[in-house]
Amino acid sequence: MSKSNTSMNTTTPPEILDEVKNLISYSIINKGQENSNFQIMHRAIIKKYFEAKHVNINYDDQTIDLQLPVGKKKYTNITFECMDLERFLRSCLKKDEKSIFFYQDILDHYNITTAA
């Protein structure tokens, strides 16, 4: 069986995950940077992990509000405190193929190329 990385060039999932972790670290430090869209990225990672809707991060209060699925087209509102957003976001990274493609898209959006 040959390994085919048709749309991922020769980048491996561990390299992609490492780059996304680096981007998360950078984005937390620079979250207020104008036109960075880092807050959108943070919400997207949480949405992806929890299959949530309407994710809102309050960076000052260190809380996250989101709607979690609890049934077919049913959601419940959850708010929780998040003292270490960087660590939390890193813990939300999945290793499945669909998630890896999603993270590759994030890296492409920020023009980050992984070492092949």
Give the position of tokens 């023009």.
111
Please indicate, yes or no, if residue 95 is contained in any of the structural domains.
Answer: yes
Residue 114 lies in a domain: no
Domain span holding position 22: 13-109
Per-residue DSSP letters for 56-113? EEETTTTEEEEEEEEETTEEEEEEEE-S-HHHHHHHT---SHHHHHHHHHHHHHTT--
Whole-number pLDDT of residue 38: 93
With residue 17 as reference, give the H or E element that holds it. Answer: helix 13-29
Does residue 84 lie in a domain region?
yes
Residue bearing the bigger pLDDT, 5 or 79: 79
Assigned domain for 5 exists:
no
Whether residue 25 is contained in a domain is answered as yes
Residue 103 lies in a domain: yes
- Per the structure, how many domains does the chain have? 1
Whether the CB-CB separation of 80 and 63 falls below 8 Å is answered with yes
pLDDT in tens, 21-71: 999 999 999 887 877 789 999 999 999 999 999 999 999 999 999 999 999
3-state secondary structure 73-86: CEEEEEEEECCCHH
Tell me the residue ranges of DSSP E strands in 2-59.
Answer: 53-58
Q: Which residue has the higher pLDDT, 7 or 10?
A: 10
- Judge whether 66 lies within some domain: yes
